[in-house]
Amino acid sequence: MKTSQKISITIISSFFLIGGIGHFVQPQFFINIVPPYLPYPEALVYISGVFEILGAIGLWLPKTRQWAGYGLITLAICVFPANIHMAMHPELFPEHPAFALQFIRPPIQLVLIWLCWMASRPSTKD
């Protein structure tokens, strides 16, 4: 496995593992950012938390790495509406700077997707 892939796996798996655990430790935070047009926000938070944790673990296993990466990319795309909701309604999230919600958080999601792809590429030396 290349060093760049190890770094990507470490960053992404840490991010999603901590985030996934956060879905269970502080679910209300995540429930609050679910756009109001999506049904069952609590269930969505717990389901996404489970898949974040599974994806984080799956990246470290050579047999599941590629599928875990694809799953995390899909998950990052699926939760992007929460980022858009926060960017469009920063007044609902006064604890976060509006600038960060509007101009930093959405591009970071694109970086996460790229890192998921980097981490999940097939490796010849596992």
Q: What confidence score (pLDDT) does residue 11 get?
A: 92
126, pLDDT greater than 70: no
> Where are the chain's structural domains?
3-120
Q: What is the mean pLDDT of the chain?
A: 92
Q: How confident is the model at residue 113 (pLDDT cuts 50, 70, 90)?
A: very high
Q: How many CB atoms lie within 10 A of CB 75?
A: 21
User: Which tens digits make up the pLDDT trace of 26-58?
Assistant: 999 999 999 999 999 999 999 999 999 999 999
Residue-level pLDDT at 71: 97
pLDDT for the residue numbered 1: 76
Contact (Cβ atoms closer than 8 angstroms) between residue 62 and residue 77: no
Give 45-51 contacts, CB < 8 A, sequence gap 24+: 48/20, 48/23, 48/75, 48/78, 48/79, 49/19, 49/20, 49/21, 49/22, 49/23, 49/24, 50/20, 50/23, 51/20, 51/75
86 in Cβ contact with 57 (< 8 Å): no
Question: What are 60-103's pLDDT values in tens digits?
Answer: 999 999 999 999 999 999 999 999 999 999 999 999 999 999 99
Containing 49, the helix (H) or strand (E) segment is helix 41-58
Question: What is the value of pTM for the model shown?
Answer: 0.88
Tell me the mean pLDDT in the region 101-107. Answer: 92
Residue type, 30: F
